[in-house]
Chain A
Amino acid sequence: MSGTYSSKNQSMSRKAVLRRRLQNITIIIISLTAFILFWWGLAILLDLQYLPPPDEVFDAFIKSFTTPDPNIGTTMDQNIVASFQRFIQGFALAFVVALPLGLLMGFVPWVDTFSRPIVEIFRPIPPIAWVPFFFVAFGAFWNPVLTVFIGVFFPLLTNVILGVRSVDESLLDAARTQGAGRVLLFSKVILPFSIPYLMTGVTIGMGVGWMCIVAAEWFGAIGGGVGYYILVQENVGMYPNMFAGIAVVAILGLLTVSLSGYLEKIIRRRMGMS
């Protein structure tokens, strides 16, 4: 009897969850439709060349993938690959610097005392502010990579430090009573505990990274890039193409942030920290 009641409850619970998800999806569709209709109405009402209606942007979006742009000579997928390459490079660079530094700053007090003033000086500076300098100092290849690096570095660093400092004391005590020294404490307790916090930093960094890459590519980019595409289209007055480029950036940002957020949830759940 109680078993039947329990499975019936589970079934009702699953149905409720499914209904909620369908409701949410419906609301999202309505919201996006309303946005597009508003945009369309505004474009028709204002009739401005630099505010094209959604259908022109959509056409430009499709065409950008099938036909090389006459100004740059690349298709949108080539631009995406170029931007993504720089994004990965900047992200990887931030990762290999922020992870060990964050672990050290969280675990070794004098390292934190030494590094923190420098970190706090540079943290408030918007990554985009560095673009003109990076372009002149490091050239068109490293400029967007370093800009992404700066943008991703600080969220990663902050969250790794937080992760190290958030380790449950009881876990550390338990490890110590089992005879664990500093090295084992770090490798077996602190480092694994920091991973979910690191993933939070990754998720935040992803969004910041895309903002950085678009701005950095405005100063020039090797092999094209979505940011450079947007700039060129604005320069020559092809606004449907410009908005298509903006839409691509939005989609890429959404995909990468969502993927990172999903991985973070999985990791947190598996490590019992959700």
Chain B
Amino acid sequence: MEKKTTQLLAVAVVAIVVIAAVAIIFWPDGDGEEKTLYWTPVPPKDQQANFVSGAIDAGVSWEPYCSDSILAGDAHVLKWSGDIWPNHPCCVLAVKTSYLSSNPDLVARMTRAHIEADLWVVDALAHPDGANYTLLMQIGATFSGRSTDVVAAASEHIGFSYGLSSEVIDYLEEFTQMFIDLNQTSLGSYASVEDFVSNLLDTSVIDEAMAVQPSETILGTVNLGFLAGDLHQFARVVAMNSTAGGGETFYEKFGLNVIAVNPAGYVNGPAVMDAFAAGVIDVGYLGAPPAILKKLNVGTDIKVVALANTEGSAILAVDGIGSFNDLNNKTVATPGPGSIQHLLFLVYAKEQGFTVKLKGT
């Protein structure tokens, strides 16, 4: 009798678990409130597939992932990031502060190489019929694994510039304040947002870089980190290309042996900051928001010495979504908290009167 009871008990437990599992799968979601957006974390590289499968109605990502979806007809643009925040900074060139203190000349040379490559990119894009433009598209295609058409389309929406202008500084202060208002960080020992951003930036390096001369010999080695497949950092890609540099890379031209510590690139900005913290890299390309967050929250001591790009992100949507307001009760993919795309989406959605919730909550 006892054995039978035990068996019945075991069967009952199994049945309850299976029924619960099925119920959870098919339980209807709660009715969406008015003007509510649901976000879900999807890496940009996977957003196109999610558009096609219908898992998401919209997505925020950066080039070239935007152009992937647009040119394939899987999504269209609702808003470019520049429509929301004109000329906003995106990726930056950052240096570990201790490395900057002990190797100011190498950092100046690194920055000069970045500037030269950036100017080369800008010039190439300004002359679409020129040989450098064709070379630039080929470099981009090889780097990103995409067609030159995608690279060309992506390049149109990215602003390549290096200067830390007052507009850039204002934006960085705004981003910092936004993170504070979202309770995602606090100033800690900094007196104000302006004080923090002033500490984050080192605007003197660009001036020192412009005084640097090319070198016939290698003067030092720099360990470099950057993001995987990110055309925002096109200047870095060009700087490492010997064809664009006329037989030597831009880094070699200025006497640097640059080692790409993670040749495939880091998956995101926080990973680049972790590489700084671990002492694995001396210089890195990453988005400004992860630099801000991890410098404030973790104290990772880096200095932003130059800009890499402005704009270059977009909110895309599938057919049937004609405007941002059509996204009511819909699902929007973002790269996740800490990214500039997620911040842009949160801020813009709230400006449009939406309540933003994590999908499934």
Contacts and interface: CB of A to CB of B under 8 A. Distances in A.
Interface of A: 49-50, 70-74, 78, 82, 85, 88-89, 91-93, 95-96, 135-136, 139-140, 192, 195, 219-224, 228, 232, 234-239, 263, 266-267, 270-271
Chain A interface, >50% SS class: helix
19 contacts: A50-B277, A70-B182, A70-B184, A88-B24, A89-B24, A139-B53, A195-B7, A220-B43, A221-B360, A223-B361, A228-B41, A235-B268, A235-B338, A236-B185, A237-B270, A237-B273, A238-B297, A239-B298, A270-B3
Interface string B280-305: 00000000001001101111100000
B277 A96 contact: no
B49 A136 contact: yes
B358 A223 contact: yes
Contact of A234 (B14, B24, B270): B270
Contacts, number: 113
A262 B300 CA distance: 46
A70 B13 CA distance: 38
B7 A232 contact: no
Closest 5 CB pairs of A and B: A223-B360, A237-B297, A70-B183, A92-B21, A71-B337
A232 B360 contact: no
B264 interface: no
B127 interface: no
Interface residues of B, number: 48
B97 interface: no
B40 A220 contact: yes
Nearest to B2: A270
Contacts of A93: 21
A69 to B, nearest CB: 9
A92 B55 contact: no
Contacts of B183: 70
Interface string B4-39: 001100100110011011101100000000000000
B270 A92 contact: no
Contacts of A236: 184-185, 270, 293-294, 297, 337-338
B184 A271 contact: no
Contacts of A224: 358, 360-361
B166 to A, nearest CB: 28
Contacts of B42: 140, 220
B358 A74 contact: yes
Given A71-B184, A220-B41, A234-B270, 11 more contacts: A50-B298, A74-B358, A220-B42, A224-B361, A232-B336, A232-B338, A235-B337, A236-B185, A266-B6, A270-B6, A271-B3
B21 A72 contact: no
A92 B2 CA distance: 26
B359 A223 contact: yes
B337 A72 contact: yes
Contacts of B17: 88, 91-92, 95
